[in-house]
Amino acid sequence: MQQPIILVARPLPQAMIDALSQFGAVSVVDPSTTLTDKGDILVTTPLDPVDAGLIDRLPASIGLIANIGVGIDHIDLAAARQRGIAVSNTPVVTEDTADMAMTLLLASCRRLGVSERHLRNDDWASGVSQLGQRVHGKTLGIIGFGAIGQAVARRARGFDMTILYHGPNRKPDTEAQLGAHYCASLEQLLAEADIVSLNCDLNAGTRHLINADTLAKMKPNAVLINTGRGPLIDEAALVEALQNGQLGAVGLDVYEFEPRVSPELMQFDRVTLSPHIGSATQECRGDMARRVCLNIAQFVQQGAPLDGCN
């Protein structure tokens, strides 16, 4: 392929534009409203929905949708496949996302967010009155035991936690390495875990995995952490559970309707919120930029990206 035309679905940092420019001409477009009739590669982020309708409107010359991020649930893979468009991601966020899961776990259990808010409001007494939960020695249930789930388990071992996991496939070798225990059913994990961490992919089978029924199966004082994808949780059911006094704490980095966050979630002191910053470290964002460039380079040179998803 000669130098490709690269369409970028939103403004990116200049350093990223400069890196992409080494492969071809770069144009920032809004795919939802304006599409040129020329282009070979579309660069997206998880905030850019790429549904079947948009894919139908893409230039006929588009051969690759290069996503900056590991999650690709915002891209209609079947529609892309039907048009012969490759899709790639940047699976280099494992350690940083696992760090974020542990950050939320600790902050939620120890009520760090509400304590800090009281302190910033010059209310020392209310801050020191916050009693959280001990983390050391608790039972952690990890839903989704891929790279990120396993990285969370490695961190949890430092807190002498009992590690349970649930997923579509049992992983005996990994169990032995991490001292993890497989739960064949989600219900078993929810019933036994003091803390539940969501680290699975979003698909038709996992959407609203945490709902009114599954929330009711958790321990009354359980802690729920989500650094996976927002729609893994039915937020309306979560709000109702919190209103009914269920759950000891919740830590969320992702949301069902992000970037909009349910206002009701902000009313609870036992809910810790962050704005989808699991990969937001200088090192990780640099790795992601390099990885999307590697995907583009291999696509240009060999016709297929390094991290193909479809």
Active site residue 258: yes
Per-residue pLDDT of the chain (310 residues; tens, 9 = 90+): 678 999 999 999 898 999 999 999 999 988 777 677 789 999 999 989 999 999 999 999 999 999 999 999 999 999 999 999 999 999 999 999 999 999 999 999 999 999 999 999 999 999 999 999 999 999 999 999 999 999 999 999 999 999 999 999 999 999 999 999 999 999 999 999 999 999 999 999 999 999 999 999 999 999 999 999 999 999 999 999 999 999 999 999 999 999 999 999 999 999 999 999 999 999 999 999 999 999 999 999 999 999 999 8
Query: Are 226 and 287 found together in one domain?
Result: no
Query: Are 245 and 109 found together in one domain?
Result: yes
Alpha-carbon distance of 175 to 234, in angstroms, equals: 30
pTM here is 0.92
Sheet containing strand 249-252, strands side by side: 180-182, 162-166, 139-143, 195-198, 223-226, 249-252, 271-273
Alpha-carbon distance of 212 to 96, in angstroms, equals: 30
Catalytic residue among 166, 229, 285, 291: 229
CATH number, residue 290: 3.40.50.720
Query: Are 173 and 291 found together in one domain?
Result: no
Contact 231, 208 (CB under 8 A): yes
Catalytic residue among 111, 166, 276, 285: 276
Does residue 159 lie in a domain region?
yes
Does residue 26 lie in a domain region?
yes
CA-angle at 77, arms to 71 and 81, nearest 5°: 145
The number of beta carbons lying within 10 Å of the beta carbon of residue 61 is 12
Query: Are 185 and 268 found together in one domain?
Result: yes
Does residue 309 lie in a domain region?
no
CA-closest candidate to residue 212, choices 248, 242, 167, 191: 242
CA-closest candidate to residue 236, choices 211, 260, 270, 199: 211
**Which residues make Cβ contacts (< 8 Å) with residue 121, sequence separation at least 6?**
none
Alpha-carbon distance of 227 to 38, in angstroms, equals: 37
Q: Where are the alpha helices (DSSP H) in the chain?
A: 14-21, 52-57, 77-82, 94-109, 112-120, 124-128, 147-157, 172-178, 186-192, 212-216, 235-243, 282-302
Structurally, the chain folds into a number of domains equal to 2
Query: Are 170 and 266 found together in one domain?
Result: yes
Query: Are 123 and 228 found together in one domain?
Result: yes
Query: Are 102 and 188 found together in one domain?
Result: yes
Catalytic residue among 192, 240, 258, 264: 258
Query: Are 240 and 122 found together in one domain?
Result: yes
Does residue 310 lie in a domain region?
no
For residue 9, the enclosing domain spans: 5-92+281-302
Alpha-carbon distance of 141 to 191, in angstroms, equals: 10
Query: Are 263 and 135 found together in one domain?
Result: yes
Contact 306, 290 (CB under 8 A): no
Structure tokens at 28: 């920032």
Q: Tell me, rounded to whole angstroms, the distance of Cα 189 from its chain centroid.
A: 21
**3-class SS at 152?**
helix
Alpha-carbon distance of 165 to 152, in angstroms, equals: 11
**3-class SS at 185?**
coil
Helix then strand count (H, E) for the chain reads 12, 12
Query: Are 230 and 182 found together in one domain?
Result: yes
